[in-house]
Structure 1
């Protein structure tokens, strides 16, 4: 009989998150949601940020709850892929990441197309043309 492998997956969506335990014995995968939580952005001085301290707390809660179920062999985190955190030379977060729903990217698509041709832009980035994408935040 194959040893069961247990993976804890965190999914951070725009307004909620969850921790799901996936067990696989080589023949069958069994999923169990062990933790669900809200993921609410924080407004500071008219800018919208991810609440990374709250998310870190929720990761710890998910770990505690999953550990009560079984040993964990691996952990993965999936997020909305357009946002980012700036790190210093020691790998520390310099500030809370700005949320993709923040209005700082309003109008950036049209501004970018004044500088670079739409076809070339797509060839270089491979991105769809949505102001929430990372390139427009940068």
Structure 2
């Protein structure tokens, strides 16, 4: 895959993922009815909606920023824990609604794809910088 293609795909999928997470965060922070019903079925306290919504906003900011890679890594870790936790929570209560089991796994797959593209783009970018430096030293 060409570096430009990798960069374009990375930003397309990352922005789509970020928009999905912001939508979910908005629903949590504003305590939408669907979120309340889900938490009631799972047996979690309602204030968890606001906590998770706020964490998702911070996670989106961390993933979209380009300066601090360690913070971005932690954001990806947080989203991973959230999606796996959602899947396991729905599994534990024995939900018959397949969408509740599949949605976190789909988002986990999308997130891993953006992570993969980010790492691939970072490698290409680092290689490009190294080649430029080496070409400058050779001259």
User: With structure 1 as the length reference, what TM-score do the two structures score?
Assistant: 0.29
Q: Structure 1 or 2: larger helix share?
A: 2
Structure number with greater CO (CA < 8 Å, separation at least 6) is: 2
User: With structure 2 as the length reference, what TM-score do the two structures score?
Assistant: 0.29
Q: Structure 1 or 2: larger strand share?
A: 1
